[in-house]
Structure 1
Amino acid sequence: MKTLQIVFIALLLIAITPVSAQTADEIVVNYLENIGGEDNLRNITSAKFTGKVDFGGMILPIEMVQTTSGLRLTKADVQGQTFYQEVYDGETLWGTNQMTMAAEKSDAEATANFKNDINDFPDPFIDYKKKGYKVELIGNETVEGTNTFKIKLVKEPIMIDGQQIDDVSYYYFDADNYVPIVMEQELTSGQGKGMTIQIKFSDYQEVGGLYFPFSMNQGIKDQPGGQLITITDIKLNEEVDKSMFAYPEKN
């Protein structure tokens, strides 16, 4: 009987080893390979995402543009007006003030923190070691019935109210397909400070040899509501008009 118990335990260990023996580095390698490969990702010079966002039943068309040179823009059409958010022209970070609908520059701290994210296009896990980022496998967790690897990503520190803090986020990778289905990050400023923002990724589709999530649901973890972003089209490596990112100086 004792021999049978030993054999059973040995077989059990063999069965679970492929999952538990995964390292954070191996998971990242598998992820990048499964979405199209690092070479294809490095060949991206620009990406334009077109879609719509659901604000509690109000559907708004949106457009997001980003380039490897650091230019970035998100805009939405709101009741006949164009609302800009997180627009960066290489020097100035700006957006539309929700109260006045006028263009407004971000402060120096927000701009400096935003510049750190430029290194993350087209993917934060590309060359993460060279960028000084660290990844850690926290363990296996079941997320909405899916077995996942929970990966902790620590990027460059950011400044909040003059204090330097770690920029930490958690990615939950599908253990079968090695793609993230959830990302979580604690809010470090604003009214939601201390809460955890959660983005759920789904509907991965192929574009130009790479796979992107065409559905992203963003909200506060364990709270109802949120915003559903549905991507309808992705254009890669198109020529980008730099003037669209420029801050509209007042006359």
Structure 2
Amino acid sequence: MRNQSIVKLLGLFAFVLVLNTAQAQSVDEVIDKHVAAMGGDKYSSIKGLKMEATAQIMGMDLPSTTTIVQGRGMRSETTVQGSAIVQAIDGETGWMINPMAGQTTAMALPEDQVKMSAGQLDLTGLYNYKAKGHKAELMGEETVEGAPMYVVKVDMANGATATHYISKDTYYILKSVINTEVQGQAVEVKTNFSNFKQVDGVTFPFTTEIESPAMPGVMTMMVNNVQVNPTVDESIFAMPKN
């Protein structure tokens, strides 16, 4: 009997081992198909991006321009009631000018806010995710608004956790939930993606809906134009000397 119990335990162990291996393989398979749907190896050639968009929030249309150099810096300018709100990341530091809050000169961003925003410097998403220090796990499948999805949880190198809902039909990410911490407070940002279009062989969502505790209601971002690998003067990321 004892020998039979040992055999059963070994069989169970083998089953669990195979199950875990299959899950590890399946999450990479889902991510590989997602990367292929978004542009595949063309991701490796993305060095920068310039995006012109219009944010719709609280009944207002706010034009914005965002310039990003992969892994280096980001600058976003949004016009609100005739005034330009500027936010920038320069390597491991960041700054902001917000006239709407009476802030007419550049002020440094808190370290944890820079850390949270640093994810925007990665234009390639889940491409080569392991080399970036991220860990991914396939949590299962769900139906979101009638569409079947793979649910992939990613523990990111910056400490944030992202849960991506990947379409089983297109392998596009249609929804993401980011959980992080800012100034000691837990923050959850929900984003829906749609209206996917190709630019220079790379697929981008041209409509994004963002729900965050930092904003009243939902902000809808409508992309008007995307430039891949534009010429960028990186001095635009540097904090102005007041």
User: Normalised by the shorter chain, which TM-score bucket?
Assistant: 0.7 to 0.9
Greater helix share, 1 or 2? 2
Equivalence map 1:13-28=2 (5 Å): 23-28=26-31
1:226 alignment partner in structure 2: 218
Greater Cα offset, 195-204 or 231-240: 195-204
Distance in 2, Cα, partners of 1:226 & 1:190: 22
Question: What secondary structure, in the 3-state scheme, does the structure 2 residue paired with 1:25 have?
Answer: helix
Gap regions ≥5 residues in structure 2: 1-21
1:80 alignment partner in structure 2: 82
Question: What secondary structure, in the 3-state scheme, does the structure 1 residue paired with 2:136 have?
Answer: strand
Task: Give 1:155's aligned amino acid.
Answer: M
Distance in 2, Cα, partners of 1:128 & 1:92: 23
The answer to whether the 8 A contact 1:83-1:101 is kept is no
Residues 106 and 196 of structure 1: CA distance in aligned 2, closer, same or farther (over 3 Å): closer
Residues 81 and 56 of structure 1: CA distance in aligned 2, closer, same or farther (over 3 Å): same
The answer to whether the 8 A contact 1:202-1:215 is kept is yes
Question: What secondary structure, in the 3-state scheme, does the structure 2 residue paired with 1:150 have?
Answer: strand
Equivalence map 1:1-251=2 (5 Å): 23-37=26-40, 39-85=41-87, 87-90=88-91, 92-97=93-98, 98-102=100-104, 103-111=106-114, 113-114=115-116, 117=119, 121-157=122-158, 166-189=159-182, 193-194=185-186, 196-220=188-212, 225-250=217-242
Q: Deviations over 1:74-129 (max 9, x none)?
A: 110112221012x0233531112441232211134444x258536x6212312111
Residues 25 and 123 of structure 1: CA distance in aligned 2, closer, same or farther (over 3 Å): same
Distance in 2, Cα, partners of 1:147 & 1:141: 6
Distance in 2, Cα, partners of 1:175 & 1:125: 16
Residues 199 and 168 of structure 1: CA distance in aligned 2, closer, same or farther (over 3 Å): same
Residues 220 and 150 of structure 1: CA distance in aligned 2, closer, same or farther (over 3 Å): same
Residues 58 and 247 of structure 1: CA distance in aligned 2, closer, same or farther (over 3 Å): same
Q: Deviations over 1:44-95 (max 9, x none)?
A: 111001010011110010111111251101110112221012x023353111
Question: What secondary structure, in the 3-state scheme, does the structure 1 residue paired with 2:241 have?
Answer: coil
The answer to whether the 8 A contact 2:52-2:65 is kept is yes
The Cα RMSD (Å) is: 2.5
If the length of structure 1 is used for normalisation, what is the TM-score?
0.78
The answer to whether the 8 A contact 1:148-1:175 is kept is yes
Q: Deviations over 1:5-40 (max 9, x none)?
A: xxxxxxxxxxxxxxx988110010001111111x21
Distance in 2, Cα, partners of 1:170 & 1:91: 25
Return the offset for 1:212. Answer: 0.3
Question: What secondary structure, in the 3-state scheme, does the structure 2 residue paired with 1:177 have?
Answer: coil
Task: Give 2:52's aligned amino acid.
Answer: T
Return the offset for 1:190. Answer: 5.6
Residues 220 and 105 of structure 1: CA distance in aligned 2, closer, same or farther (over 3 Å): closer
Task: Give 1:89's aligned amino acid.
Answer: D
If the length of structure 2 is used for normalisation, what is the TM-score?
0.81
Return the offset for 1:211. Answer: 0.7
